[in-house]
Amino acid sequence: MKRKVMNNCAMAFCFIAVIVALVPLVSILLDIAIKGGRALNLNFFIHTPRPSGETGGGMANAIVGTLTLIGLASLWSIPLGILTGIYLGEFGSNRFGEFLRVALDVMGGIPSIVIGIFAYIIFVIPMKTFSAWAGGFALGIIMLPVVARTTEEMIRMVPLEIREAAWALGITPFHTIWHIVLRSAVPGIITGIILGIARIIGETAPLLFTAFGNMFWHHSLNQPIAALPLQVFTYAVSPYDDWHRQAWAGSFVMVLLVCIMSIIARLIIERGFTKTSLK
């Protein structure tokens, strides 16, 4: 009898703990959705910022800017991350592999402002200008460890028997990795990429000294470029109410993007989309 009471108490306690944990999350999401939703309109998506007081302003350039920066970051961090992950997953049970893992973990833990300063030194100073390249580089540094570690995990999960089957057919190690192992690991790798992107969508600090932000359209990648988190920051610390409302809208869009990406990542894992032909 006492055990039953204890059991019920423990279960109730767990249940309450979950509710308590969910409260901040739900309240933040609701708050952003309500305040952001109110300020969201078509102008937000197609117009650039207008001075406070003028209607019709938006964050079109920031949305395009964020997408551009994500694109640039992915351009270098995805291939490099996948290759690194393949190395670690297939050949990495040695000293160098361990060192590489530690290095990637450290990389993932560096404060993002420090990454921004690093990108500033590497790109902004020699180029003598803030640029999309610098921003893409900084965001890529944040994304790289996520892609590499996920790729490694997914590759390790491919069972040895499948590899042995390939080796027993006289298939070379390279072909085995390319045609058999990677194919099985693809859904997981895609998930890793999506999670990496979800991570960098909202990164603000590394963009402060690299992309810098722009109230207008950029005309080349060698110029400062707008980004959602930067724009939200600028608007939020400003003294204007209408800009504050737009900052809520920007936050809402970012949160929505992160939610959508996380859900897609989950679906991919659960459905285990697989390709079934060699072509």
Catalog residues that contact another protein under the rule CB under 8 A: 93, 159, 161-162, 164-172, 175, 179-180, 183-184, 274-278
Cα–Cα distance for residue pair 85/253, rounded to 1 Å? 32
Rounded to a whole number of angstroms, the minimum distance from the CB of residue 151 to another protein is 16
Token code pair at residue 265: 């990542």
Q: Which is nearer to another protein, 38 or 175 (CB)?
A: 175
Give per-residue burial for 22-52: e unless 16+ CB within 10 Å, then b: eeeeeeeeeebbebbeebbeebbeebbbbee
Q: Among 116, 113, 185, which Cα is nearest to 149's?
A: 185
Rounded to a whole number of angstroms, the minimum distance from the CB of residue 184 to another protein is 5
Q: Which is nearer to another protein, 184 or 222 (CB)?
A: 184
Rounded to a whole number of angstroms, the minimum distance from the CB of residue 176 to another protein is 9
Rounded to a whole number of angstroms, the minimum distance from the CB of residue 185 to another protein is 10
Under 8 Å between Cβ of 115 and 204:
no
Rounded to a whole number of angstroms, the minimum distance from the CB of residue 154 to another protein is 13
- Cβ partners under 8 Å of residue 227, min gap 6: 62, 65, 66, 69, 135, 207, 211, 213
Taking each helix axis as running N to C, give the angle between helix 2-39 and helix 241-271, from 0 to 180 degrees, rounded to the nearest 10: 130
Rounded to a whole number of angstroms, the minimum distance from the CB of residue 170 to another protein is 4
Q: Which is nearer to another protein, 167 or 217 (CB)?
A: 167
Token code pair at residue 122: 């590497």
Q: Which is nearer to another protein, 110 or 180 (CB)?
A: 180
Q: Which is nearer to another protein, 99 or 167 (CB)?
A: 167
Q: Which is nearer to another protein, 132 or 166 (CB)?
A: 166
- Cβ partners under 8 Å of residue 126, min gap 6: none
Q: Which is nearer to another protein, 65 or 188 (CB)?
A: 188
- Cβ partners under 8 Å of residue 109, min gap 6: none
Q: Among 97, 257, 261, 88, which Cα is nearest to 190's?
A: 261
Under 8 Å between Cβ of 50 and 56:
yes
Rounded to a whole number of angstroms, the minimum distance from the CB of residue 46 to another protein is 42
